[in-house]
Amino acid sequence: MRIFSYTNMMNVIATLSTLAEPTRLAALRILWDGGEHCVCELMERLESTQSRMSRHMGVLKSAGLVTDRRDAQWVRYRRNPNLPPATIAIVDAVIAALPGQKKKAA
Amino acid sequence: MRIFSYTNMMNVIATLSTLAEPTRLAALRILWDGGEHCVCELMERLESTQSRMSRHMGVLKSAGLVTDRRDAQWVRYRRNPNLPPATIAIVDAVIAALPGQKKKAA
DNA sequence: CCAGAATATTTGCTATTGCGCATATGCGTA
DNA sequence: TACGCATATGCGCAATAGCAAATATTCTGG
């Protein structure tokens, strides 16, 4: 396993493994709207634990998918505005594959 | 972690974790052309081991991404022709994100 | 039936991942 | 400074994934 141009292939792999976790994917989906969301909000909406949520956000962050900003006692996370198009395409496709939140039909 | 409509979300997660492995992703990329490829070929091209390659192909298969067919002493794998569009979109995006094999420019 | 090629699978092992719990840290206010 | 809220992190644990080596299985040709 040394032939492919790992240099970059591994970035893709990293992105994929980051996405391949329910809580993380759900969080990213929420952040994908571009807005800011604090850990506490995500925690509530995803019925997760403080430590778990924080940890997962850390993973998303170190994968470069999201950005954080300290605002008083909160930390606001949001979708990294500088993602490479290829990465955006992947996340878009993944989120599109998720079951929608079923708005009521007309 | 019980609120989201897991039923289907987990399928996406499964697909993602399947893709999140270098050897598997590289193999799928090869199979993505729609043609048939035996394990021995993949093994060679990816510089992998017999057991490793076989196992990874098994994972791709049980994830529903590929199909296999026995042909004499070989087993020919190929991209599952009946993938749901959403899955195809994901794999397309992922493969597009991989470093290309650099054809010589004009 | 036998030998050999191509695949699959079992086994034992190591590394990684996700979790909960407890604790630490940053920040605002009294 | 002390307290409380929001978030991060250290730690030990259980489950999972991936690997190599050995063995089993399937099929072909003789």
| Domains detected in chain A | 8-96 (1.10.10.10)
Q: What is the pTM of this model?
A: 0.91
Please tell me which of the candidates A8, A22, A97 has its beta carbon nearest to residue B99.
Answer: A8
- The Cα of A43 is separated from the nearest Cα of chain B by a number of Å equal to 10
Separation CA A88–CA A15 (nearest Å): 11
Q: Does A8 touch chain B (CB under 8 A)?
A: yes
Give contacts of A94 with chain B, Cβ < 8 Å. Answer: 12, 16, 90
Separation CA A36–CA A15 (nearest Å): 21
Q: Does A81 have pLDDT greater than 90?
A: yes
- The Cα of A104 is separated from the nearest Cα of chain B by a number of Å equal to 16
- Across the interface, whether the CB atoms of A17 and B17 are under 8 A apart is answered yes
In angstroms, the CA of B52 and the C1' of D21 are apart by: 12
Can you name the residues that pair with B76 across neighbouring β-strands? B38, B69
Cβ contacts of A14 within 8 Å, gap of 6 or more? A63
Please tell me which of the candidates A17, A48, A89 has its beta carbon nearest to residue B1.
Answer: A48
Q: What is the pLDDT of residues B30-55, one digit of tens each?
A: 999 999 999 999 999 999 999 999 99
Q: Does B33 touch chain A (CB under 8 A)?
A: no
- With CA atoms as reference, the chain A residue closest to B93 would be A90
Cβ contacts of B45 within 8 Å, gap of 6 or more? A3, B30
- Across the interface, whether the CB atoms of A9 and B98 are under 8 A apart is answered yes
Average pLDDT over all residues of chain B: 91
Give the pLDDT of residue B105: 52
Average pLDDT over all residues of chain A: 91
What is the distance, to the nearest Å, from the Cα of residue B85 to the centroid of all Cα atoms in its chain?
15
Separation CA A36–CA B83 (nearest Å): 35
Residue with tokens 């329910």: A22
Order of strands across the sheet that contains B74-79: B37-38, B74-79, B66-71
CA distance readout (Å), B87 to A37, A91, B22, B41, B74: 29, 12, 18, 25, 28
Give the pLDDT of residue A100: 80
